[in-house]
Structure 1
Amino acid sequence: MAHRLTGVPGVAGVMLGGSRARGEHRPGSDWDLGIYYRGELDLASLRALAGPGVDVSAPGGWGPWVDGGAWLRVGGTAVDWILRDLDRVGRVWEECREGRYEVGVQAGHPLGFWSPCYAGEVALGQVLADPSGELTELRRRTADYPEPLREALTAAAWEAEFLVEGAAKGADRADALYVSLCLSRAVGVLVQALFAADRRWCLNEKGALAVAETLPAAPAGFGRRVRALLGAPGAAPEELKATVSAARTLVAETRAGL
Structure 2
Amino acid sequence: MAGRLTEVPGVVAVALGGSRARGTHRPGSDWDLGLYYRGEPDVTALARLAEELTGAPVEIAAPGGWGPWVNGGAWLTLDGVALDWILRDLDRVERVWADCCEGRYEVGTQPGHPLGFWSPAYPGEVALGRVLADPQGELTVLQEAVRHYPEPLRAALVAASWEAEFSVAAARKSAGRGDALHVALCLSRAFGVLVQSLHAHHRRYVLNEKGALASAAALPAAPPDFAARVSAALTALDAGAVEAADALVREVRTALSP
Counterpart of 1:236?
A: none
Are positions 1:231 and 2:231 aligned together?
A: no
Q: Hey, what's the Cα distance between the residues in 2 that align with 1:53 and 1:205?
A: 32
Q: Residue 153 in 1 paired to residue 151 in 2?
A: no
Over 2 Å off, 4+ runs: none
| Mapping for residues 137-148 of structure 1, pairs under 5 Å | 137-148=141-152
* Matched residue, 1:64: 68
What amino acid does structure 1 have at the position aligned with 2:17? G
Counterpart-to-counterpart distance in 2, 1:117 and 1:75: 30
User: What residue number does 1:237 align with?
Assistant: none
1:10 corresponding residue in structure 2: 10
User: Aligned equivalents of 2:240 and 2:133: distance in 1?
Assistant: 53
Q: Deviations over 1:147-170 (max 9, x none)?
A: 000000000000000000000110
Question: 2:218 & 2:72 partners in 1: Cα distance?
Answer: 33
| Residues in 2 aligned to 1:27 and 1:219: alpha-carbon distance in whole angstroms | 32
Query: For residues 27 and 183 of structure 1, what CA distance do their matches in structure 2 show?
Result: 33
Contact 2:157–2:196, Cα closer than 8 Å, also in 1: yes
Supply the AA of the counterpart residue of 2:21. A
| Structure 1: gaps (5+ residues) | 234-239
The structural deviation recorded for 1:231 is 2.0
Query: Helix, strand or coil for the counterpart of 1:55?
Result: coil
Question: Which of 223, 246, 250 lines up with 1:248 in the alignment?
Answer: 246
Identity across the alignment (%): 67
Counterpart check, 1:217 vs 2:221 = yes
- 2:180 corresponds to which of 159, 176, 183: 176
**Cα deviation digits, residues 187-225 of structure 1 (max 9, x gap):** 000000000001001000000001100101101111110
Q: Give me the CA root mean square deviation.
A: 0.6
8 Å CA contact retained: 2:17, 2:33: yes
Indicate yes or no: 2:101 matched with 1:103.
no
Which residue in 2 is equivalent to 1:33? Answer: 33
- The AA in structure 2 aligned to 1:100 is R
Residue 28 of structure 1: how far off its partner (Å) = 1.1
* Structure 2: distance between partners of 1:165 and 1:241: 11
Equivalent pair of 2:47/2:57 in contact (CA under 8 Å) = no
Output one character per residue of 1:233-253: Cα deviation in whole Å (capped at 9) or x when no partner.
2xxxxxx21111111111101
Match of residue 54, structure 1, among 58, 66, 71: 58
Shift of 1:40: 1.8
Determine helix, strand or coil for the equivalent of 1:15.
Answer: strand
What secondary structure sits across from 1:112 in the alignment? strand
Q: Which residue of 2 aligns with 1:198?
A: 202
Contact kept, 8 Å, 2:74 with 2:86, in 1: the verdict is: yes
Q: What is the deviation of 1:172?
A: 1.4
Matches of 2:87 and 2:41, distance apart in 1: 10
